[in-house]
Every structure is written in C-alpha cells, then in structure tokens.
Amino acid sequence: MTPLKPCYKLPIYLKAHPKLLFKTLRILLKNTLKTKCARKFLHCRLQLFDQKCRLGLRQNLWQSYLNLGSEKEVWPNSVMKMAKTNEQIVCDQFVKQHLNEMKIKFDQFTNELRIQLQSCPVTLLPLKSTLDQHLQEFVQMQQKYLATKMQYQLNRYQDMITEIELFQTFSSFPLTSNQQTMIDRLMHLQEKQVLFYEDLQKLEARVAIDILPRSFDELEWFIAFDDYFPLIKDNIAVEFKQNRHKTIQEAKRTWFNTYIDAYESQIAEVEHQYEMELHQFDLTNSSQSCLNNGITTLCQSFLNYINHRINRIKEEIAYEKIPIYKKKLLRAQRRSKSTNKTVTIKPNVIVDLIYHPFTDTQLAYLSRGKIVLFYKFLHIHILVILFFWFRTDIHTTQSKCIFSKKNSTNMTLIPLIDQIRALRELKLVQSIRKKLKKYKLILRETDKSGVLHIGRAIDYERKAAEYRQTTGAYEELTSNPFDDIICTVTRLLNQLQSMKRIKDQVLSQKLSQLSMTSFRTPEHLIEITEDQVENIPYYLTKESKSFQQITSDLSSSELIEELRQLAILIHELLMIEFHKSLWTIYLKSGTGQLQLNQMNHPHHHIQPHLWPLEVQKRMRQQSLDSTDMSACLTYVTQHLDQLNNKMKQYQTKYNMKKNQYINYVPKIQTFVHQQLESARLAIEQQIAIVHYNYNDHVFELKLMTYSPTPVQKQISHTLNHAKYQEQMTTQEFNLLKYHISIHESSPSSMQMPKEKFMKPIKDPSLRQNLHEQFIKIAQQAKKDMIQLSLSTAQAQMDRYHTEFNTKLEQFKMQQDTLPSDEKFNSTLLHLVEKHWKDISEGVKCFYKYKHDLLRLDAHHN
C-alpha cells in the first residue's frame, strides 16, 4: 500500500487492513477483484478520491467562513491566525485567495481522476459507468468523522458570532456605575464556576485514563504495607491480595468522594451567591426595558449573553481543552521511567489468582464489564453480542453469538475504521476465551457491582461448601434429580393438556424447552506458577550525607577525599572477606567437609558432596557442566583464588593509606563496619541456607540407608513438608509482629506527606478540613492494612500448624494398620524427629537474619 505522492499520508482505512478493504470493495462493486492490477488501480483511485473529498470538505467550511465573515464582519480565530491580522478587508481577501487555491487543487484532482480512468483494467470495464459513484460514496463514508469535525468547527464559529451579537445587544443598554459593578460581579461568579467545572473535568479525565493526581499515589504508598505478603501461595494469599487491593481502592475512593463533595459544596455556594445577586439585579432593573419596543429587559439581555457565553466555554473545555490535557498526561506517562502499577478507583475485573495468563490489554477489556461488539458489513448486518452468561451452576461459562442477517438491499455502509476496531476486539475476546479454556478458569459476573470475576473452580467449590456449612440452608443431593423432574413436569403438562387447560402448541413448546435444558460439568483450574564487590557504594560517594557527617570537622577537601578513598579500600576488603567466607562454605559443602549437626547415628556417618545451587547456576550461565564434580571444584577454587588475589591488591593499597592516616583509621573502620552490617547479615543468611540444604540432603541419603518402602518415603516427605510449612508460617507471623511493633514505635510511621492536590481550593478553613479528612482516611486505611496482614499471617500459621498435627495424628494411627514391613521402626522415627528439629533450627536461623535486618533498619532510621 504505497501512497501516490511522498507528501501524502495514507489514511488508516487505506493501509491498516488491506484484506478487509478489498473484501468490502468486492461486495460493494460485486466483482471478485482477483487481479493484482485491478486492486492496485482501485487503491490508487481511492487515494485520489480521498484527497479530493477532503479538499471538498475544507472548501465547504471555508466558503461558510467567507459567507458569514463577509456578512457579520467577524472571522474565526483560525483564519485570523493564518492571515496574521484581524482586519476585515485583509481577512476577506485571504479567505478568497485560499478558496481559489483549493479550487485549483480540486480541479487538479478531478483531472488526475479522469486521466487515471483511461488506464482502467479490462476486468473493471463493465463497472466503468458506476465505479466512481460507488467509490465516492465509499470514501465519503470513511470520512464521516472528518465531516463531523469540520461541522463542529463551523458550529463553534457560529456560536462565536451569536455571542458577539448578544453582547452588542446587551451593550446597547445605558448602564450606571452601580449596574456595571453588579454585572461584573455576576460575570465573576459565573467564571468562577467555570473554573471549578474545568478542574472537575480534568479530574474526571484523570480517572478515565487511570492517571490520578500524585496525592492518590502518595496515599497508596502510605497505606500499603509492602513488607508483607503471605509466604505460601494458597487461597489465603489470594484473599489477602484481593482484600489488600480493596482496602487501598476504598481509601482512594473515599478520598476522591470527599474531594468531589468539597468541590460541589463550593460550586453550590457560588451558585447560591449568583442566584441571590441575580435576583437582586433583576429586582433593581425590572422596570428598565430594551430599546426594542420594550420586549427584552436588561436582565434578560444579560442572561441571554452570559448563558450563551458560559455554555460555549464549557463546550470548549469539554471538546478542546480536555482532549489536549489527556494527551499531555499520556505523553508524560510514557516519558516517565516509573513502572509501578498503582490501584485505580475505577471498577476492574477481579482476578482471584496469584498468577494469571492475561495481558494488561485483556484485563482492561474485561474491566469494561459485559462485552458488546456491533458489526455491520456491506452486504449483511451482523449483530454480534459477545457476553458471558452465567447460570446458577457456578462451573458454567457460556458465550452467545446472535447473528441477524438482512438483504443486501437494506445494507448500510459504516466506516472501515469501525470494522477494523470490531475485528480487533473480536480477536481480543477470542484470545481471552482461549486462555479461559486452556487454563480451566471460570469467568462470571459478580452479584452486586456487575464487574467480572475470574477464579478457579476449586475455589468456587470451597467457598460454596463453606457457605453451605455456615448457613445450613442447603442440602447436598446424593443423586441427580433432573430426570425425575423432567418426568414429573411432562406428566403434569400432559394432564393440563387432557383437561384442555393448555393448548397443544404451547405444550409442544414447553416440552421442547425441557429437552434443550442441560447441565455443565465443573471445570477445574490448572494452577499457574512461576531469582557487587567492586562498585563504589552510595554511602561512600561524594553525595553521601552520612560520610559528610563523619568528616564535617575536617576543613581540607583533599584530606576528606583521601579518607573517602581509604574507606573505599576498607569496604572492598570487608566485602571480599564476606564473599570468601561464603565461597569457603561452598567449597566445604561440595567436598564433603561441611560440619554437620549431630543428628547422625554413630554407625552411619555420611559426608556427601553437594555443590550449592548458586555454584551450579553460575556454571550453567557460563555453559559449564554443573553435574561434573571436578569441574565444580575447579570453578570454586579458581573463584577463591581470584578473591585472594584481589584481597592482596587491596591490602597493599590499604597498608600504604593506613600508614599515612593512622589517626583516622579507627573512625573510618567503625563507620564502614556499621554501613556493611546488612551485607554481613546477608552473607550469614546465605551460609545458613547452605547448611540447611546440606543437612536436608544428608537426611535424604541417611533415610535411603534404611531401604525405605515407597509408602515410607511418601509419608516422610509429606510430614517433613508439613513441618517446614508450619515452622515457616510461625516464624513469618513472629517476624510480622516484630515488624509492626517497630513500625508503630517509629515517630515517622504515621506521618503523612504534604497534600498538594488541594491548591485550587482557596478557602483556608475548607482546605484545613480536607487535609484533616485526608489524614484520617489514610491512617485508618493503614491500620486496616496492618490488621489485614496480621490476621492473614495468623490464619496461615494456624492452618499449617493444624495441618501438621492432623497429618501427624493420621501417621500415628496408620502405624497400627500398616503392614509390618512398611511401619516406621524406632530408629527411623528417631531420624525423622531429629530432622524436624533441624528444620526448626534452620528456619529459625534464616529468620534471625530478617529480625536482625529489621532491627538494623530501625536503628538507622
């Protein structure tokens, strides 16, 4: 699809969807258009018609400008801007000249169309007499939006003329100074209302495109307790995710409604002032009539003018300023490097999943609620209503497509751009349905809000079971009563028919409906599931305030820079030392030299060779064989040698610096040690993980020495996993309580950022009241969020504590029923129990790092 001229930009309908374009032309022209030559000819001709029709629309607009401008001696702003003057004669000449230039171009396009028609392909010769008429009608339909836009421009020009005429009528009244003062006051109040209207329109535009003012983001950042998310991704985690989103959204909506109420109260107050002053103005000037035979009073003339002016300004705001404002916001958002997704206040599709396969575009489409697409093609009207229809059976998802066909004689053309959009949305709906089917998800409409909800079948079943158990209002049937119901209804219908209470035609219809009724089987969801030594740290950069504080008593900038270089060397040495300790543990684990917990029986001493996952990962990244023990040993040894060589280099530099600034060394060392406390804790945590994985591997090997049966292996694995989940959720709950206690004791925990969104509100008392409500909403929502986190962590802890105890009791009961060769003997039981202690110790060690890190952060803050 190449344009005829380089300067001509092809419109969307001529380049976006060629197949749809020629499919429409085939139907319109009743020709197969099989040859490439015919299609190329039609495309070139459509380009010429497009340019000609666009020019014709502009000619009509400018001719209207000329007619009205010459008569009323008022010209549109666009004309005066192009002519660079507002003089009547100059503008009149400019418009006439512009119309003459457009006529020359119009005639040129007409001539090009005539010349091009001479090269009409043979296959299109039978259509030669009606071809241009069809193509011109087709192009005019595609330019419907352009014609509407130009008509709007003409209407705006006519409104401006009417406003000037009304002002001239109003100005014909002789006004006293008191009347002029009252009129100025009334106009000021109306313009004040217009400013409020514009602010509200901008806020509405922000809501529509999900770009709320910064104060809403700051409110979310204050509320969100991002340091906690449920450890285990179960239904409790899904509920937490939804409740967290709901808490933030409700807080934002409350703040939004509060702000809107404040605006509306101001608008109502200004409106009341305006009505009172207008009434007083009307009473004062009711006896003064216009010069037009006493038909129009001064007050009526003023109202005609001011109402027309305000309506024009509001239309200008809604149709001109707001679209530009939206574009600026979207452009700024695209330029912004921030990728954080915030909670919107608009209703969105509810996704009750930790992970989901849907794209942002698909979710945005589903957030529109029920989906209705309307298609009209040239030879056929197709009304396609794609919506998700939900029956009382919670496992049913249906889609309906209703097609209504009409004769081609009644067809109506619609722009191709609408057809392209309809096809794009159809593909989007099809892709959504495909994913729903592939991952066995359920999409249904919620009861109250009408938004759509996506969830798993097992979650629906669980919630339904909990509801039935809680209410006791339902009884689970042991068999399907459908057949009995059909037989009973059929018998009753036959009785009514024999008693002549129902006609034969109605009976046949009812039985047909019964035969078409069906039940769907439940659909289940497949769970969708999904990881710096030489860089100068920020605390040692020249911008760091912490380093500036410890060197604030020094006046020499050269000395401060030398001490900063000394601190960098100490930092590098400590970091290398930390990494050496970690990689030494890696080496001991891989060579079987890691010290074990005393869980091993003296008769079964096992020292396996287990290379940590980090070593294997790095080797795979370098395309090395991570299963080759000797290759792993070589890799770790070489890495330790590199660390030793770096340490020697830095140690030499450090010794030279240390001797020069011996008096400052202790202070600098203490400062760097304090700053690297978190790094030291992180290394200790990784070492603890290596020990835990090593002990776990030893347990697996030791268990195999007893030749366990498959049943014993499964029981051991199940109990170990349950114990691990119990310990992890318990420690997570304890950590969260500790975190909350630190958070609540911090003086800055409940401090709100300064609200800047209320600047347009000038009333100091109202602004103060709004600020207090803003703080109240935020603090209450934050308390709710903290309580939600705490209750969720406790719920998970209680669940997995109960689950472990239940499985342990079941295991003890099974011991009596299992065959003798599958029972756990005392030695095996002792091994499993010792492993549980190791699990508990390992998890506690892991969470000790998190506790220490929280304590460290609280100390620094």
pLDDT on residue 289: 53
pLDDT on residue 605: 62
Q: What is the pTM of this model?
A: 0.74
- Angle formed at CA 45 by CA 42 and CA 46, multiple of 5 degrees: 85
pLDDT tens string 636-694: 999 999 999 999 999 998 888 888 888 888 888 899 888 888 888 888 888 888 888 88
Ranges of the chain whose pLDDT falls below 70 = 1-2, 4, 6, 286-295, 337-339, 370-413, 448, 473-476, 478, 482-483, 497-535, 596-605, 626, 747-760, 859-861
pLDDT tens string 759-770: 667 777 877 888
Cα gap 802→808, rounded to integer Å: 10
Residues 549 and 671: beta-carbon distance below 8 Å: no
pLDDT tens string 792-820: 999 999 999 999 999 999 988 888 887 88
Size of the chain in residues: 861
pLDDT on residue 804: 94
Residue written as token pair 């409740």: 243
Residues in CB range of 363: below 8 A, 6 or more apart: 348, 349, 351
Neighbour-count burial for 147-181, b at 16+ CB within 10 Å, e otherwise: beebeeeeebbebbbbbeebbebbeebebeeebee
Candidates 711, 688, 685; CA nearest to 823 is 711
Neighbour-count burial for 396-426, b at 16+ CB within 10 Å, e otherwise: bbeeeeeeeeeeeeebebbbbbbbbebeebb
Residues 570 and 653: beta-carbon distance below 8 Å: no
pLDDT on residue 92: 93
Residues 270 and 191: beta-carbon distance below 8 Å: no
pLDDT on residue 399: 33
pLDDT on residue 518: 35
Question: Based on the number of CB atoms within 10 Å of its own CB, is 843 exposed (0-12), middle (13-18) or buried (19 or more)?
Answer: buried
pLDDT on residue 642: 92
